[in-house]
Amino acid sequence: MSSVRQRGFSTSFSMALALFAGMAVLSSTAQASVSYFAAGGGSVSSLTLQDLLNGGHIDINNGFDTKRFDGFSAFVSSGTGGGSGVSASAIAVTGIDTGGLDPGPGLVFQGNFEAGAGQTQDTRFTYDVSIVQPSGFLIKDIGLELGAAFVGTDGGQVKIIESAESPVGKPISGVMVFEKNSAGDITGDSSDVALFSPVSFVHVKKDVFLQGGTEESTSITDFTQTFSQVAVPEPSSLAIAGIGALGLVGYSVRRRLKK
């Protein structure tokens, strides 16, 4: 009986080592970094939204893989009631690395988002987020966080509306609405929007709308977008897990036969 227990322990221990090794491959990390590239691929120290609209891109390695933010297009910004839009060259875009998977890397958009009393400002643009291959991870959701904001009284409002598609034209999430009214209440979906299933590419449509109150202006300093990730087992890891499962089944059968 002691020899049977010894073999069982050895088998379980070997499988545990194999599974541990497989998980180690998935969780291996590298030095995190944020890189900015102008149109044509030249490395630069910073980018504006206009630079990105002209063909620049941002790469963020969070220690697990690299996300690329590019394909910025369809920019339009305008105002009503005497208000004006914000210039794309006046919107700084900064890559951020959270150092983890959830929330994952993302972008901070900082600019003169403001609507005076009785005015509105509406800014729209689109961009793409993709995972540079090879990678053992996929994008699972989108997070939105509003920076410092002042909402004008008597009807002031900040509303950020967005949707996600993968590929372009195929919706993978419902419309996300982050809204802050004059009472300071946040309504709508202010947290992550889970995608229907993990994907390697996301096309994001954004609409940033501000409305001033009757007597006071409305403004925000910035907003942050993050993209969480989930590990997708590699074929080799799946094979290791399958072998481990078969080993457990075989060991269980042998124990029953010995009884």
Per-residue pLDDT tens over the stretch 24-56: 444 444 467 999 999 999 999 999 999 999 999
Whether 59 contacts 66, CB under 8 Å: yes
Average pLDDT on 85-94 reads 98
Token pair of 14 as six digits: 């070997």
Per-residue pLDDT tens over the stretch 110-147: 999 999 999 999 999 999 999 999 999 999 998 888 88
Please tell me the distance from the alpha carbon of residue 46 to that of residue 160, in angstroms, as a whole number. Answer: 25
Q: What average pLDDT is seen over the chain?
A: 82
| Per-residue pLDDT at 206 | 95
| Per-residue pLDDT at 9 | 39
Whether 177 contacts 223, CB under 8 Å: no
| Per-residue pLDDT at 256 | 57
Q: Where are the domains of the chain?
A: 31-230
**pLDDT > 90: what percent of the chain?**
54
| Per-residue pLDDT at 11 | 46
Sole residue written with tokens 């229907």: 196
Whether 73 contacts 132, CB under 8 Å: no
| Per-residue pLDDT at 77 | 98
Token pair of 58 as six digits: 């941002």
Q: Is the per-residue pLDDT at 66 higher than 70?
A: yes
Per-residue pLDDT tens over the stretch 92-103: 999 999 778 988
Q: Is the per-residue pLDDT at 169 higher than 90?
A: no
Alpha helices in 32-150 (DSSP H): 49-53
- For residues 165-183, one letter each, b for 16 or more C-beta atoms within 10 angstroms of the residue's C-beta and e for the rest, the string is bbeeeeebbeebbbbbebe
